[in-house]
Structure 1
């Protein structure tokens, strides 16, 4: 059976898998991304070598990689990825030389959004927002993901929602990502004196009536509020049929969806907001999107099978 080696490159981790034409991960492996550009590339090469070895009797036919930043998908060049330290990196050429396989390199959010669209029945016009170490977006209009003139469309995390607000690693202040990314939530909670080892721990403390954690509630409200402000602008500009949330933070489910739906509704005075839901692929959307890139690189049409039913919130019903 033909398989592809798929890797979702994140700001802190590389999620890799050997994926078959049904979207099933036959093997999964992860590695840290590393703190510098050369280290991130070396870890990616090592992960692909490990996946190729673990593919066993299955024959890898291609490699698919989804990466953040500005990506020239036609040439497979990462023009600029600040969190990775990559600039004008001919990633496709490097990986093809190392693996001996055809390689497709795409923007991580756009790849994940296309996987959501093609493999799990999303509508023709929607916005896909993965929320993890960073935040970006796939803007799908009439079935086509908007890439922009330089490949930089979808940098939703760097929409400024609080002028003169908290500094963002991108160099701006008050970005959505500075408040709502996973690391930002944890950082801001600790800055208030809270103790937690992960963002998931902070989220678990939100909204507890019997054991209230005011710091967790405040930081989470700021995160949701920043997302809502950004999505209000996206809604007014694109009029999407729905907004789909992915990435690790989307695992918060109703703790995220319900207040976000309420905040977004309050910001749209004269129109109904689009429905909100979590991605059908959950936090695996990026890896599935990378697999889709790989199969398409060699002209194979995969038949991905849905793993679960999405969560929803009634943002657009009132």
Structure 2
């Protein structure tokens, strides 16, 4: 089956669409539902089921679902921007029960990274590609020659005193501190130069909601040597990556 439903759970919205995994294209208009207040598992479970019903795919194929935190063997091990009851939860089983379908859960930034390297700004780029998503938090994906190293969680690097990076340089931090784009880019540059020094990537790809506004901040981001580009798939990368990974894992039986 080449068309797989991808669902992307975010801090402010949960969105989904069926994806042609051969091309990376959405085959129906994306549908978005606001993330329930508190983002408790039972509430998010119902939104995921509602998205499945919306696309009329109750009895078809696997589903790929992203999660904004560490995902290991179907369990969610962190909960930076959602309810703490996600920690240690078998979320694969939760969503499988809600949808009656095989669900494959993946970290949201990892999904975006896979999509960008397969079909977006990182396509045909050799070496180490880092995808960083700036939104409610900062997500990270690390891919070497197209191979994903999962759950890097580089948004939680300690950067400014007792604060980790996403509390200081995310898009939510920009809004909270009423920063203009140049002011936010100065913070982002500090963070990106730190990551650059640690990993020496061949390319930075900036995703999340900010990827749609690259004309406002890109010229103000200053790095030592690494090229930086906005995500080509923009805010659809998580949906596409979730579907791609679900298709691959379904075929391999993992």
Shorter-chain TM-score category? 0.7 to 0.9
CA-to-aligned-CA distance 1:42-69 (integer Å, 9 cap, x gap) = 3433333333333348963111111111
Residue matched to 1:3: 3
Residue matched to 2:114: 114
Question: Where does structure 2 lack aligned partners over 5 or more consecutive residues?
Answer: none
Larger Rg: 1
Greater displacement, 26-35 / 223-232:
26-35
CA-to-aligned-CA distance 1:269-298 (integer Å, 9 cap, x gap) = xxxx11111111012111111111222232
Structure 1 residues 141 and 233, CA gap change in structure 2 (3 angstroms): farther
State whether structure 2 residue 161 is matched by structure 1 residue 178. no
Structure 1 residues 57 and 228, CA gap change in structure 2 (3 angstroms): closer
Higher relative contact order (CA 8 A, sep 6+): 2
CA-to-aligned-CA distance 1:223-279 (integer Å, 9 cap, x gap) = 21221112112222222111101110122212211110xx22xxx3xxxx1111111
Aligned residues: 245
CA–CA distance in structure 2, aligned partners of residues 250 and 298 of structure 1: 30
Structure 1 residues 2 and 275, CA gap change in structure 2 (3 angstroms): closer
State whether structure 2 residue 229 is matched by structure 1 residue 227. no
Residue 113 of structure 1, CA deviation:
0.3
Residue matched to 2:89: 89
State whether structure 2 residue 252 is matched by structure 1 residue 291. no
Residue matched to 2:13: 13
More strand by percentage: 2
CA–CA distance in structure 1, aligned partners of residues 194 and 144 of structure 2: 16
- Counterpart of 2:136 (choices 109, 129, 133) is 133
Residue 114 of structure 1, CA deviation:
0.8
- Counterpart of 1:156 (choices 136, 149, 154) is 154
Residue 37 of structure 1, CA deviation:
4.6
**What is the TM-score of this pair, normalised by structure 1?**
0.70
CA–CA distance in structure 1, aligned partners of residues 142 and 55 of structure 2: 34
Residue matched to 1:310: none
Residue matched to 2:36: 34
Residue matched to 1:246: 207
CA–CA distance in structure 2, aligned partners of residues 109 and 188 of structure 1: 24
Residue 79 of structure 1, CA deviation:
0.9
> What CA RMSD, in Å, does the superposition of the two structures yield over aligned residues?
2.3
